[in-house]
Structure 1
Amino acid sequence: MAKENLSTMKEFILLGFSDFPMIQDILFGILLVMYINILIGNGLIIIITKCDAALHTPMYFFLGNFAFLEICYTSVTLPRMLSDLWTQNRNISLLACAAQLCFFLILAVTESLLLTVMAYDRYVAICKPLYYTLIMNHKVCVQLVVASWISGIPIMIGQTYQVFSLPFCNSNIINHIFCDMPPLMKLVCGNTYWNEVTAYSDALVFGFIPLLLIFYSYNRIFITIQKLPSVRGRSKAFSTCSSHLMVVGLFYGSSMIAYLQSKTGSLASAEKMLSLCYTIITPMFNPLIYSLRNKDVIVAMKKLFK
């Protein structure tokens, strides 16, 4: 009976943080505070980039879109975690699990592409300053943002369909905090070779290649910065890139470590904690990184609060 085919089942059971039964209330409080901080921090970034005329530039246009993306990205997983902790009802329907996975993958692709676009914007601003307003005009900026949002939609819908068309015959218990690809694939029986090939291909196109483009952009930026005659000019040029580099490091670093851990068969509790890094902690710290290291954002916030 343990190997009974469960492909016709109606729901999964998300174990979430059931490994820590004594601190469920504490976890709920911590995650709720984090979610509120994410909404307020990224919401403020959106408001100031829209309301302050001094921030109506391509860099802050992308930053406002990135802040909105972070709110959406977190809202796919965190409200469900809070609900599970509050009600102790860990059942999730097959359709809800598929929807969560699909939106999570689409928004993860969008984040990867938008980070690449932001790196390209810094490359043009520093390496080709005389052509910056011509290359990064408003129409191009809108096209780049729209492309970042929609490029992954058909591919990730197909990826989700592939996963949920497989038979789940090992169990219906997902030992994770949300419906993600690695824990779901552990429940699949049968040959998953082509599904894994497709997943790795998508990761290459939407993850590894954008990361290479980001590295290339910053390599050219650093070469250009080193050629600047004044120390002040080099410092100012680098300061405009350091915040973005920190965000890239947080997002790619935590997500790659988490997925490598899942492949090496590490403890499920370690996987859950690492997953929190790129789904919650990174979006929470992004507004702080951009505001504390950016004088224009600090000035705009002072104006807003006055």
Structure 2
Amino acid sequence: MRGAQLVGRWVESYTGMSADNIKGLLLALSSSLFIGASFIVKKKGLKKAGAAGVRAGVGGYSYLLEPLWWAGMITMIFGEIANFAAYAFAPAILVTPLGALSIIISAVLAHIMLREKLHIFGILGCILCVVGSTTIVLHAPPERQIESVAEVWDLATEPAFLLYAGIVLAAAFVLIFRFAPQYGQTYIMVYIGICSLVGSLSVMSVKALGIALKLTFSGMNQLVYPQTWVFSFVVVSCIVTQMNYLNKALDTFNTAVVSPIYYTMFTSLTILASVIMFKVTDSDLNIFFT
């Protein structure tokens, strides 16, 4: 009886999704397919470049001359474009957890193509990621309607989010300048921590930029606002930082380990940032636990 009630609530939740949310859902799923495969192609490119030059894990950039790495990068760009579009249609708290699918794809391909063994705890972790993500997606609270990029700017410059951004940037700088040179090759959490912290800010900026472009294409030009270009600068800066340290992590540690940890930290911080910036209420959060 209890199971039937849960299924009924899940169906009701799904059918209650708006058309925009469904578009965002489909775009996020396709993004995960591209991104999951890109991890493997980039890893193979990094290994090939490392055999001929200085490894990315120790500060080398020989992978920039490796076509296989660029193939993986292009695949990831396609995935990120789909992800970018998904944020324009659906709330970040719905889109981000769907990255769990990329974990499954990268873990399976790493096992087959890279001969990286996925042990029982790794399999269990992937399953838990998918279960958790499914729960979040089915019960994602509605997001407030945004009418202009200026409104997003107002949300991003409120004290609560500015405090969060300040803490994130301070922690990222400490990891980059204090811990990464000394412990990055030993502890996976250093590189992944940098990527996840910076990534939570990039998602909020991507969301803002996606809304700006969506409104511009609908006839309300948002490119005239300086805030749009500030968000664009933040997006580029954050993505460059993420890619740099993600390459270091992939070059140093197994893909089957990097992907789940990165996904978990990145998703958790993004949900926290979304709750702070878009003011998800206690009643909305209770949806996850009912």
Which TM-score applies when normalising by structure 1? 0.29
Pick the structure with more helix per residue: 2
Which TM-score applies when normalising by structure 2? 0.30
